[in-house]
């Protein structure tokens, strides 16, 4: 009599039961843990289970050399650590990743920007991520005024540092002054009112004497 290959159906059922149980646990702990953490936990567990119960992924990992599997596991572990690194300054260089970001109910939405005036009179935006691409700016500019997190004068020090780097890249038209603006956009403006952002000048920094 011909022998039939063993069915993988029970394994699939076991995987589905595990995922369902994990989903139930995540749902229960979501009352005590923020939803973005509980949701990320479920997604991470689902991905890890795929390495065991999804045949294409299992074969792909099994075909890797042992060293490659180790490096791959370290990368996955680093990614998971990054997901749960909620204090970026403490756990740098892990980046704070939020799959489920907060819903901001504040209206209007505001942000701060450095607008510089060069020697020729041109207006340019000074962006930290552009002039310092290797630096992760954890907090927005308005958080720099928090005395509990940053020393006094941090905003001005950052403005002067940005101007210094910009001037090194553009020596023929250096920055002479920097204005700190607060940009505001109304999410739900009254009928007939434009959603054009408004600008409010907060501070002015004269950097013409900086080297």
Tell me the residue length of the chain.
211
CA–CA dist 199, 210 (Å, integer): 27
CA–CA dist 150, 105 (Å, integer): 26
> What pLDDT band is residue 91 in, cutting at 50, 70 and 90?
low
Tell me the torsion sign for CA atoms 50, 51, 53, 57: positive
Report the pLDDT averaged over residues 26-48: 68
The answer to whether residue 56 scores a pLDDT higher than 60 is yes
Contact yes or no for 166/131 (Cβ under 8 A):
yes
CA–CA dist 185, 169 (Å, integer): 32
Q: What pLDDT sits at residue 84?
A: 63
Contact yes or no for 177/117 (Cβ under 8 A):
yes
Query: Which segment, 43-47, 61-65, 105-109, 111-115, is predicted with the most confidence on average?
Result: 111-115
Is the whole model's pTM more than 0.85, yes or no? no
- For residue 14, give both structure tokens: 């076991």
CA–CA dist 57, 64 (Å, integer): 11
Could you report the per-residue pLDDT of 140-170, keeping only the tens digit for each?
888 888 888 888 889 999 999 999 999 999 9
Of all residues in the chain, the percent with pLDDT exceeding 70 is: 66
Report the pLDDT averaged over residues 52-72: 85
Report the pLDDT averaged over residues 84-113: 65
Q: How high is the mean pLDDT of the chain?
A: 77
Q: What pLDDT sits at residue 11?
A: 62
Could you report the per-residue pLDDT of 111-138, keeping only the tens digit for each?
899 999 999 999 999 988 888 876 666 6
Q: What are phi and psi of 185, to 5 degrees?
A: -130, 125
CA distances 38 to 11, 83, 187, Å, are 26, 11, 29
Q: What pLDDT sits at residue 92?
A: 54
């Amino acid at each position: 009599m011909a022998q039939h290959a063993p069915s993988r159906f029970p394994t699939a059922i076991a995987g589905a039961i595990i995922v369902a149980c994990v989903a139930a646990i995540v749902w229960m702990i979501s009352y005590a843990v923020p939803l973005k953490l509980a949701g990320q936990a479920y997604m991470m567990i689902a991905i890890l289970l795929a390495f065991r119960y999804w045949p294409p992924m299992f074969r792909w990992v099994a075909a890797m050399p042992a060293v490659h599997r180790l490096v791959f596991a370290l990368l996955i572990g680093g990614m998971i650590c990054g997901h749960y690194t909620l204090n970026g300054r403490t756990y740098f260089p892990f980046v704070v990743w939020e799959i489920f970001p907060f819903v901001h109910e504040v209206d209007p939405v505001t942000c701060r920007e450095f607008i510089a005036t060069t020697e020729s009179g041109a207006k340019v935006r000074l962006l930290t991520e552009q002039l310092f691409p290797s630096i992760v700016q954890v907090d927005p500019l308005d958080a720099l005024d928090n005395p509990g997190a940053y020393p006094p004068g941090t905003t001005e020090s950052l403005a002067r540092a940005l101007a210094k780097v910009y001037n090194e890249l553009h020596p023929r038209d250096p920055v002479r002054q920097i204005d700190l603006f607060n940009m505001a956009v109304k999410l739900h403006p009254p009928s007939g009112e434009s959603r054009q952002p408004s600008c409010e000048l907060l501070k002015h920094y004269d950097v013409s004497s900086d080297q």
